[in-house]
Amino acid sequence: MSSRFVRPVVVQVGRHDRERVIFDVNDAATILLRSFHDRTKKRKLAMDACLQVLRGEAHPLVARRAFVVAALEAKILRSD
């Protein structure tokens, strides 16, 4: 099973950073691990969803939705 998102997600982690286009679960997991400073429940749910996709237990859409929710909470979402 592919880990690519049907539609990419655009985030901007820092106010002065360039926008990043997130194409798949690996990109999302990297952002969640390295760029999310707050260890919130939504971040944890997004990480868990990414791991489930990587293990072949869930569809990438599940991880994408969870990532979007976490990115909204962190105020880094630019486009969904």
pLDDT truncated to tens, each residue of the chain (80 aa)?
A: 689 999 999 999 888 888 999 999 999 999 999 988 788 999 999 999 999 999 999 999 999 999 999 999 999 999 76
**Closest Cα to residue 14, out of 39, 29, 35?**
35
Q: What is the pLDDT of residue 20?
A: 94
> Exposed, middle or buried, 80 (CB in 10 Å: 0-12/13-18/19+)?
middle
Q: Model pTM?
A: 0.92
Contact present, 8 and 64 (Cβ < 8 Å): no
